Structure formats: C-alpha cells, structure tokens
C-alpha cells in the first residue's frame, strides 16, 4: 500500500467513517476507488478491478457510461434539480417513459425520491393510504433500505442499533419461499402491502421457487393486500427483461426502481403506482414532498438509461453474457466441487454458493487480489453476489472467468486446506 | 392518454452517442461470432444454405423494391444478380473448408482457421441486395458476424432484406446477432463503426470517398476502387459474337455493375463489320451531334450525373433529345480522344459505351491503358480476340487484375459466365490502392494459425485428424431459477479432464469425498 493511501485511510477514519473504513482493512480489502470507466475500477494505487458488484446494479451499464455522461452534461445547459412544487418537464417526461415500459398495464403515476430508501417509504405510505391499513409484510432477511419505514421491513441488524426497529407490530416478516407463512400473515386482512424483491439481493439471491411469487400475488389479491415489487436491484434488464417480477409472471400494484435507473450518474429513484393505489395524488398531491426527489437532471439521465436498455441488442447481450459466464462457472464448479457448490442464477443476477458459512469472504478477498471486485452477501456470507453488467464485453467476460478460477482455487485451499492435485 | 417518449436533451449527434450506438451492435456481433466459432462445418453450412434459400426466394421481391427505391437498374437483371448471390455463390465455395483443421502431412503443418470476427460491411446503392446477400454469405461461411451499413439511398430494402436473412440464419441455428444492419446510417456513424476497435475488418464497397475513409480508419480494410473497363475488339475476334456480348453486358442492369465496359477500342479493318454487328444487337450508334448532347447530359462540372445512373438507353436518349428506336439497348458514342480532354472516356454507370478506333494493336493497348489511367486502375478489362498472342499482350499490359476474354465484362469479371469467383467486391489491388487484387470471397475473412514442426524431426501430423476441434455448438442456456420450465439442474457436472487422466476418481467416489470433506469442515467449524 502506498504512503498516500495509508494517509488517506487515516483521514477517512478520522473524518468520514472509522468503522466502515477499518472493517474493509480487516477483511483484507484495501480498496479506495479512484478512476472508474466501463466495468473497470481503479484503486487509488492504480490497480485495476473488473466490477461485478456494480454497487447493487447501479453500474449496470458500466461506470460513467459515455452517453449518460454526455446527456448529463448537455442537460445542465437547460436543467437543474427543478422546483418540486411545480409541474416539471423532465419529471413528467420520465414518468411517461416509465409508464411506457411499466410492469403492469394499469400503472400510471410515477412518484419520485432522491434514493431507493425514500422511494420504498413512498411506496409503503402509498399502500397504507390506499388500503387504509398499517401492516407491512416482508420476508425474513429482507433488505429495502435504511430510512424510517424501509429499515423496519428489513433485518434488525440495521434498525436495532438506532433503536428504530418496529415496536408496534406493524412490520411482519415471513420466511421466503413459504406460501403458508405468507398466507398466515395476510389472512386477517389487516395488511396494507407485501413488499418483495423478486430475488432478495442482500440475502444472497435465494431464488424464488416456481410459483412462489405468483402465489404471493394471488394471496395479495385474495386478502386485499397490495403487492410492492422492489426492483431496485433486479430490474433494468438484469433478468433479461426490463422488470424481473414480470419474468415470474407477477404484475405488481406498486413498483420501486432506483440504483441503476440513472447509471450512477445522478441520484434518483422512482415509484410506479397504479391508479388504484395512487389516490393520495389526487386527494392531496402535496402530501409527500422531496426537494431532490425527481431532480430533473436525474430524470434526464434516467430517460437515457431506459432508452439504452430498450435497444433491441441489449436482450441478446444479456443472454450471451449470462450463458457464457454460466458455462464458464460450471466448469470452475466442476473443478472445485467440494468448495464451490452451487450457482443461483437468473440472467445476470447470480449468487455463487460456497461450502462454508463464511465461504464468500475468502473468495471475495482472492478475487480482489486477482483483479475482480465482487461482494459477499451481507445476510448470507456463504454466497458471493456476482453481478456482471449488461454490456460486458466478450473479452472482459473471458478474463473475468480466468480470474475467478484462480481466486476460487486459492480460496478453496485457504478454507479447506491444500488438496491433493489430481493433475 | 398514451405515454409519449420525449427527448428533452438531444445528444444523438455527439461522439458519445455514436460510439455508444456502435459499441452495442459491435459487441453483440462479437458475442455472436464467439459462439459461432464453436460450430462445426455441417451446422455452419446448414445455416449458409438456409440463408441462401431465403435470399433466392426473395430475389424478385427485393429486385423490384431496390429499383423502386433507388431508381437504378432493371428489375429482371437485379433479380438475376440477387439469385446469383444465393445458391451459385454458395456452390462455388461449397467444397472449400473454412472450419476444420487443415493437415499438411508433407510439410508437417497443421492449419487452424481463425475467423476475422466482426466484419463491418458497406453496401452500395447500385447493387444493394446482391451485395447484402453476398457479404452475408461469405461472412457466414467463415463463421464471422457481420454488421452492414447500407447506402442511404437503398436503406429500406437493405434493412428489410438483411433482417429477413438474419431471421433465416437464427431459425437455422445461428447465434443471434450474427447478422445486423444499421437502421439509420449517417456518415459520422459509419465513420465511428469503421474506426471502432471492436471492428476486425471493413469490407468497403461504394464510392471512392467511403473506400478511402475505410482505409484511413486505422482498421484492416478490404476496399475496392472504381472501374472503367476498356474492351478491345481485335481483328482476330468473332465480331458478331463480340458485339452480342458487349451489348448484353452493357445493357445488363443498365450498366450498374462497376465491371461494365466503358470504352470500346477496335481496329480500322473491322470497324464497319463491328458497327453492323452492334446495330444488329440493338446498339444505337450516335452521330457527332448526339455525342455532344450525351456528353452534356452525362457529365456535369462535378462529375457524372447521378440522375443517369442505371437508367436505360431510351431514357437517356430521350433526356438529351436523341431519337432512337424503341428497342435500343445501348448507345455507342464514337470518340477521338481518350484522357482528360474527353469526359466520355470516364466511368459511365449507364448503357452508354464510348468507342474509339485505334490505328493498330499497339495503339489499341496504349488507349486501353490510358482509359484506366482516368479511373479503374486494378479493376477490369475485356478483350475479344482469337489470337492468344494478342490476348496475352493485352492482359500483360493493362493495369487490371481481371481480363475477361470473349465474354461479357459486366458479368464475367464478377464471376458470372466465367469461372472467376462470383463476387460483388472486386479487389483492385495495388494498382487500385486496395489490399486485395482478387475477387473478394470468404477466404479473405479468415486467417490461419499454422502449427509447424521441426523439419528434421519425424512427426506424423495426421494424428491431428482424430482430435476434437472444440465444436461445442451453441452455449447451453443459463437457467432463470424459479421460472417454470427453466431447469436449474441443467448440466450434469461432467467429469473433468483432470479426473480422466488420473487416479480413476469416478463421480461417485468424488461425491463421497465431497461429503466427507463437508462433514469434516462442519465439525471444525462447530469447535
């Protein structure tokens, strides 16, 4: 590590976040991201990493995608954040663009937040208003953000520390893939909404069983509950379709998108709601306000993101990247079957499963040492989140697999001891 | 109210937007060729045949469309060209193998075909569909992906045709994206594609400016120069046959092929006989006044009048007020100079043929060379003669890479009615500032990795015949876990090469080992 980086890390601990800065050093990840371009990150000491973390899909199109940079720059010639009190050209234009590719035909309005958590809060408030009920059901180990309401839907790991966990019994959690538990939670008809990531990201991408998500949607219909699809990490073509919930045959009542919607260039998050849910927008349109929510520059970038993602070549790209990476990972898995034990996959949403309760951590570390950045799943560290971007090049995909093979081999030896080589 | 897509901030003409557009198409092509290169020869040829079939079946449809859209040429002849670039093109190269290893036992060399990868192909307005067919087929035969940039004047028919061929290819098992076409080509966009490091080779057919731009792009390019073919009718020729061939060639698709005869050169002793034969074949011989009118119509200050490209003889005659019989197929304009002082000695993509009578054979050859100095270096020439001394001297003198003998030049130089390789890209070689001097074919889109053994060592390279060539076919489809019908256990983990070679650890034993290790691990973790 360079002297400059050492000094920087000290300042980071002093002025920014001592715990987080130190934790990464303890895990052997001394990354300070400096330059970034496409799917490459460059550490401040110059080392290059292929990014398959993408910050939860934020960099789905790559870092600083040239068209997004261009549209943001050009956008500043006309727009700034805008005034959230008034009808605004860019906000309405993005709402129209989203309505045109919405996951359900009756989705109509878009409400904006400055980030995903705020958008989740908007979704929950919207559902509560429409249902005139308070209860929210999410899954055990869910993760939907850190704001007032969103944090209550998730694991207590993030709420208790701030004394912000639910104490009123308004937030119920049920195990994923368990329709009976879901029905038990809903059948009293006192629930406003079920909030569901189509594939729970931070929980290591456990895949929904066949019929689970449509089953939840049916239960919602039966018990007058709204279905909120959190598509922040799974949306935007990562499943091969614009919205992952549609791949499972679910048409949600409310949908939240964030992160990748503006390619990491300008913060914005969006909540799409059906006419039925959006009643408050007529009753009292000023009821939720956000100065930075729906900033018009963010809208301009998001429209370009949607345009790029809807180019016909993209869905082919997603298939090629998904098939090719899977094919290569299958080879690696068959070479290290005692350690690399499973792949969870839907398109470019992938979780690599290792045969150790913290198995993804050494893999992450060795990947880091070998020029790849992927992160373990906070709520299931057996699983490495592996999220290649939709525009990954063939060259980088090949290089990525080469590096993964090396890292898995080293991590395996570290965890399980040197094995007798069969060669 | 329906949602509308608005473009509040238009960046479409910026370098970033052009690059972004090009990158996605070229990268999709890269993926397609990567997968295509896993295909064996039979599968490859099945795809080629399916595409050729579609091209053949739609030959008339697109011939009509192309003429309607561009205003160039003759439907019936375009149909013929569209057909020629389907089955006959494939059949010409059918026995060539661009997929398997080539083994040369005598030289102890094994050659492995390595496709170019991503071919960026410019197609012209003059022969739009034939060129689209041709370039797609030679790219597919060599397992390349191709991105076509159609001439804007023939955009609609080309986009439709290329998409149809792409669908046929995919239906026959080709990787998706192996054939793509730019919907809205603009000069800056085309330049972006040409300069992209994702492009492996540019196949440039079109105007000189485009071809030069291709060569200036910094990428490998196969570009071809313009034609201006001289045709020499020698005193040893079968004059009647020669006249028929010339009229057939010059009227074929109204001279829109760059291989068409431009200047007819002959000798005084057969002049009358030739003119008679030309008339009999429905050529109209212009008088001095007609020639002046023709010159004025065909050549503007800036060059050839594009209004006249691919028009028929009677249309042209009518335009400049020459009265000709209704069945006139070509116009012959007698001239007395060849060179800068005579515009009619330049390339004419219409059925107007200049004619010059030389005093002797040497002068005739000198005139043919002079014609090619105007334009057309490295391109084509034709001769009608029975005396091989004359044909060899002619061919050895003119600076072209194909000389058609006793046959129509339009078709003959492009490989139809001769045994030259059928093509719609005529390599004009070093004479014509091009990298290739042959008719371009599939072999130009593949290079070979050559494994060479020590000359002194004894080695039977024949053993390579038995080895796998890695033809694994399409990639298995990755699962979409939880989506009905998407199998998650799609691939039985196959025994790896390691285990085959070594201690006979079969799958069952390995499974047991895996379980034991897993249990041990759990114990360790509990402690």
Task: Give domain limits for chain B.
Answer: 38-223+441-447, 229-413, 486-526
Residue B203 pLDDT greater than 60, yes or no: yes
Selected for mutation to probe chain A from B15, B145, B470, B483 (highest A CB count within 10 Å) is B483
Read off the pLDDT band of A423 (50, 70, 90).
very low
DSSP state of A12: I
**Percent of chain B residues topping a pLDDT of 90:** 83
DSSP state of A241: S
Given A67, A240, A321, which is nearest B17 (Cβ)?
A67
C-alpha torsion sign, points B23, B26, B29, B34: negative
Selected for mutation to probe chain B from A388, A394, A401 (highest B CB count within 10 Å) is A394
Cα separation, A392 vs A40, in Å, equals 11
CB neighbourhood size of B325 (10 A): 12
Read off the pLDDT band of A198 (50, 70, 90).
very high
| Catalytic residue flag (residue B258) | yes
* Residue carrying the six token digits 């070549």: A313
Read off the pLDDT band of B231 (50, 70, 90).
very high
A with B: how many residue pairs have Cβ under 8 Å apart? 170
Q: Which two tokens stand for residue B22?
A: 């090009």
Task: Return the residue of B nearest to A325 by Cα.
Answer: B478
Selected for mutation to probe chain B from A198, A214, A304, A316 (highest B CB count within 10 Å) is A316
Measured CA angle at A49 (ends A45, A50), to 5 deg: 160
B498/B62: higher pLDDT:
B62
Put simply, the chain A residues between 381 and 420 with a CB less than 8 A from any chain B CB are 391, 393-395, 415-416
- Count helices and strands (H / E) in chain B: 18, 17
Q: How far is B513 from chain A (nearest CA, A)?
A: 8
Whether A323 sits inside 8 A of B477 (CB atoms) is yes
Q: Is 0.80 topped by the overall pTM?
A: yes
Average pLDDT over residues A326-352: 97
Cα separation, A251 vs A255, in Å, equals 9
What is the pLDDT at residue A378? 86
Decide the pairing of beta strands A48-51 and A107-113: unpaired
C-alpha torsion sign, points B293, B296, B297, B299: positive
Cα separation, A253 vs A247, in Å, equals 16
Average pLDDT over residues A314-323: 97
What is the pLDDT at residue B495? 36
Whether A78 sits inside 8 A of B9 (CB atoms) is yes
Tell me the per-residue pLDDT of B74-111, one tens digit each, with 9 for 90 and over. 999 999 999 999 999 999 999 999 999 999 999 999 99
Residue B264 pLDDT greater than 80, yes or no: yes
Residue B492 pLDDT greater than 70, yes or no: no
Q: Which two tokens stand for residue B176?
A: 């998706």
Whether A89 sits inside 8 A of B496 (CB atoms) is no
What is the pLDDT at residue B303? 86
Average pLDDT over residues A328-332: 97
Residue B457 pLDDT greater than 90, yes or no: no
Cα separation, B186 vs B392, in Å, equals 45
Q: Give one DSSP letter per residue of A41-54, joined into a string.
A: EEETTS-EEEESSH
Cα separation, B120 vs A118, in Å, equals 47
Residue B508 pLDDT greater than 60, yes or no: no
Put simply, the chain A residues between 117 and 176 with a CB less than 8 A from any chain B CB are none
Residue B467 pLDDT greater than 70, yes or no: yes
Q: How far is A75 from chain B (nearest CA, A)?
A: 6
A118/B524: higher pLDDT:
A118
Selected for mutation to probe chain B from A320, A337, A343 (highest B CB count within 10 Å) is A320
Given A327, A355, A356, which is nearest B476 (Cβ)?
A327
| B112-115 own/partner pairs: CB under 8 Å, 24+ apart | B112/B448, B112/B449, B112/B450, B112/B451, B113/B142, B113/B446, B113/B447, B113/B448, B114/B446, B114/B447, B114/B448, B114/B449, B115/B33, B115/B36, B115/B37, B115/B142, B115/B143, B115/B144, B115/B445, B115/B446
Residue B444, CB-side half-sphere exposure with 13 Å CA sphere: 24
Given A213, A317, A323, which is nearest B475 (Cβ)?
A323
Whether B475 sits inside 8 A of A327 (CB atoms) is yes
Q: Name the least confident of A351-360, B76-85, B482-491.
A: B482-491
Residue A179 pLDDT greater than 50, yes or no: yes
Residue numbers in A near B183 (CB within 8 A): none
Tell me the per-residue pLDDT of B9-18, one tens digit each, with 9 for 90 and over. 999 999 999 9
Cα separation, B127 vs B330, in Å, equals 20
| Averaged pLDDT score across all residues of chain B | 91
| Averaged pLDDT score across all residues of chain A | 96
What is the pLDDT at residue B84? 92
* Residue carrying the six token digits 């023709």: B294
Whether B3 sits inside 8 A of A100 (CB atoms) is yes
What is the pLDDT at residue B209? 86
Q: Which two tokens stand for residue A138?
A: 């999410």
Class in CATH terms, B38-223+441-447: alpha beta
Q: How far is B380 from chain A (nearest CA, A)?
A: 40
Residue numbers in B near A69 (CB within 8 A): 16
Average pLDDT over residues B487-504: 42
Residue numbers in A near B481 (CB within 8 A): 207-208, 344-346
Cα separation, A307 vs A263, in Å, equals 12
Residue B473 pLDDT greater than 50, yes or no: yes
Given A208, A323, A416, which is nearest B476 (Cβ)?
A323
Is the distance from CB of B226 to CB of B52 less than 8 angstroms? no
Cα separation, B525 vs A419, in Å, equals 19
Is the distance from CB of B137 to CB of B94 less than 8 angstroms? no
Q: Which two tokens stand for residue A169?
A: 């019994």
Average pLDDT over residues A265-291: 96
Whether A212 sits inside 8 A of B30 (CB atoms) is no
Q: How far is A210 from chain B (nearest CA, A)?
A: 4
Whether B16 sits inside 8 A of A70 (CB atoms) is yes
Which of the residues B157, B258, B286, B350 is marked catalytic?
B258
Residue numbers in B near A241 (CB within 8 A): none
Whether B480 sits inside 8 A of A338 (CB atoms) is no
Q: How far is B469 from chain A (nearest CA, A)?
A: 18
**Percent of chain A residues topping a pLDDT of 70:** 99
Residue numbers in B near A357 (CB within 8 A): 525
Tell me the per-residue pLDDT of A66-123, one tens digit each, with 9 for 90 and over. 999 999 999 999 999 999 999 999 999 999 999 999 999 999 999 999 999 999 999 9
Query: Is A109 at the interface with chain B, CB within 8 A?
Result: no
Residue numbers in A near B6 (CB within 8 A): 93, 96-97, 303
Is the distance from CB of B443 to CB of B452 less than 8 angstroms? no
Q: Name the least confident of B16-20, B125-129, B158-162.
A: B125-129
What is the pLDDT at residue A322? 97
What is the pLDDT at residue B465? 87
Residue of B32, B213, B247 lying closest to B119 (CA atoms):
B32
Residue numbers in A near B14 (CB within 8 A): 70, 74
Cα separation, A265 vs A385, in Å, equals 23
Angle between helices B75-84 and B128-141 (to 10 degrees): 0
B226/A271: higher pLDDT:
A271
Query: Is A349 at the interface with chain B, CB within 8 A?
Result: no
Class in CATH terms, B229-413: alpha beta
What residues have CB less than 8 Å from B169, skipping those under 6 apart? B47, B50, B51, B140, B178, B179
What is the pLDDT at residue B500? 37
Q: Which two tokens stand for residue B236?
A: 């040893």
Cα separation, B517 vs A41, in Å, equals 37
The H or E element that residue A276 is part of is: none
Query: Is A70 at the interface with chain B, CB within 8 A?
Result: yes
Measured CA angle at A179 (ends A177, A185), to 5 deg: 115
């Amino acid at each position: 590590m360079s002297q400059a980086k050492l000094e920087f890390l000290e300042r980071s601990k002093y002025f920014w976040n001592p715990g987080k800065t130190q934790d990464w050093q303890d895990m052997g990840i001394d990354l300070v991201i400096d330059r970034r371009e496409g799917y490459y990150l460059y550490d401040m000491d110059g080392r290059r990493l292929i990014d398959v973390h993408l910050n939860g899909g934020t960099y789905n199109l790559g870092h600083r995608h040239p068209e997004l940079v261009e549209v943001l720059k050009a956008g500043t010639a006309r727009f700034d954040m805008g005034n959230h009190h008034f009808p605004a050209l860019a906000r309405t234009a993005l709402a129209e663009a989203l309505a045109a590719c919405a996951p359900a035909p009756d989705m109509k309005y878009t409400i904006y937040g400055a980030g995903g958590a705020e958008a989740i809060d908007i979704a929950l408030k919207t559902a509560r208003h429409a249902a005139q009920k308070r209860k929210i059901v999410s899954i055990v180990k869910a993760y939907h953000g850190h704001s007032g309401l969103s944090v209550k839907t998730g694991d207590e790991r993030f709420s208790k520390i701030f004394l912000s966990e639910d104490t009123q019994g308004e937030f119920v959690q049920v195990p994923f893939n368990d329709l009976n538990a879901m029905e038990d939670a809903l059948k009293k008809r006192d629930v406003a909404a079920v909030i569901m990531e189509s594939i729970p990201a931070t929980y290591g991408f456990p895949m929904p069983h066949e019929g689970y998500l449509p089953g939840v949607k049916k239960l919602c219909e039966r018990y007058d509950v709204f279905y909120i699809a959190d598509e922040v990490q799974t949306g935007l073509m990562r499943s091969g379709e614009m919205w992952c919930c549609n791949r499972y045959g679910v048409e949600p009542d409310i949908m939240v998108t964030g992160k990748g919607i503006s390619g990491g260039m300008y913060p914005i998050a969006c909540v799409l709601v059906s006419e039925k849910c959006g009643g408050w927008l007529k009753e009292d349109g000023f009821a939720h306000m956000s100065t930075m929510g729906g900033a018009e520059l963010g809208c301009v970038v998001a429209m370009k993101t949607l345009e790029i993602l809807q180019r016909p070549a993209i869905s082919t790209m997603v298939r090629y990247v998904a098939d090719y990476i899977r094919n290569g990972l299958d080879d690696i898995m068959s070479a290290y079957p005692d350690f690399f034990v499973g792949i969870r996959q839907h398109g470019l949403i992938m979780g690599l499963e290792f045969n150790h309760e913290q198995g993804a951590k050494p893999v992450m570390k060795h990947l880091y040492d070998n020029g790849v950045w992927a992160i373990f799943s906070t709520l299931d560290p057996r699983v490495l989140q592996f999220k290649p971007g939709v525009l990954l090049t063939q060259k980088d995909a090949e290089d990525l697999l080469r590096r993964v093979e090396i890292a898995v081999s080293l991590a395996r030896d570290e965890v399980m001891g040197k094995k007798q080589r069969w060669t | 109210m329906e949602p509308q897509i608005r473009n509040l901030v238009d960046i479409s003409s910026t370098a970033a937007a052009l690059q972004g557009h090009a990158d996605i198409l070229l990268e999709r092509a890269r993926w397609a060729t990567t997968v295509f290169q896993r295909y064996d020869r039979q599968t490859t040829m099945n795809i080629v045949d399916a595409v050729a079939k579609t091209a053949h079946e739609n030959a008339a449809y697109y011939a009509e469309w192309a003429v309607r859209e561009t205003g160039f040429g003759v439907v019936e002849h375009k149909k013929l060209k569209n057909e020629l670039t389907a089955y006959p093109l494939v059949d010409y190269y059918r026995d060539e193998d661009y997929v398997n290893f080539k083994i040369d036992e005598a030289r102890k060399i094994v050659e492995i075909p390595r496709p170019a990868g991503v071919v960026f192909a410019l197609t012209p307005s003059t022969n739009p569909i034939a060129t689209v067919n041709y370039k797609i087929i030679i790219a597919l035969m060599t397992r390349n992906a191709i991105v076509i940039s159609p001439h804007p004047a023939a955009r609609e028919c080309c986009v439709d045709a290329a998409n149809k061929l792409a669908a046929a290819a995919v239906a026959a098992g080709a990787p998706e994206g192996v054939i793509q076409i730019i919907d809205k080509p603009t000069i800056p966009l085309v330049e972006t594609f040409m300069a992209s490091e994702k492009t492996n080779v540019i196949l440039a057919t079109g105007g000189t400016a485009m071809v030069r731009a291709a060569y200036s792009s910094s990428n490998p390019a196969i570009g071809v120069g313009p034609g201006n073919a001289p045709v020499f009718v020698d005193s040893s020729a079968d004059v009647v046959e020669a006249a028929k061939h010339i009229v057939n060639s010059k009227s074929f698709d109204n001279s829109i092929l760059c291989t068409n005869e431009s200047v007819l050169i002959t000798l005084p002793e057969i002049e009358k006989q030739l003119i008679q034969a030309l008339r009999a074949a429905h050529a109209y011989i212009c008088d001095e006044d007609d020639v002046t009118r023709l010159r004025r119509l065909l050549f503007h200050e800036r060059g050839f009048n594009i209004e006249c490209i691919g028009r028929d003889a009677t249309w042209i005659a009518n335009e400049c007020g020459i009265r000709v019989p209704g069945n006139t197929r070509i116009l012959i304009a007698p001239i007395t100079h060849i060179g800068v002082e005579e515009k009619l000695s330049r390339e004419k993509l219409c059925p107007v043929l200049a004619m010059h009578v030389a005093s002797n054979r040497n002068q005739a050859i000198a005139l043919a060379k002079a014609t090619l100095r105007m334009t057309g270096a490295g391109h084509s020439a034709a001769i009608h003669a029975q005396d091989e001394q004359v044909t060899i001297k002619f061919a050895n003198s003119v600076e072209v890479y194909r000389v058609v003998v006793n046959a129509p030049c339009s078709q003959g130089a492009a490989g139809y009615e001769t045994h030259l390789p059928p093509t719609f890209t005529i390599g004009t070689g070093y004479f014509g500032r091009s990298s290739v001097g042959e008719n371009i074919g599939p072999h130009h889109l593949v290079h070979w990795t050559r494994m060479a053994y020590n000359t002194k060592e004894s080695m039977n390279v024949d053993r390579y015949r038995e080895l796998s060539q890695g033809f694994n076919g399409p990639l298995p489809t990755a699962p979409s876990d939880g989506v009905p019908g998407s199998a998650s256990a799609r691939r039985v983990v196959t025994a790896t090469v390691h285990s085959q070679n070594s201690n006979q650890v079969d799958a069952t034993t390995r499974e047991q080992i895996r379980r034991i290790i897993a249990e041990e691990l759990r114990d360790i973790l509990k402690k």
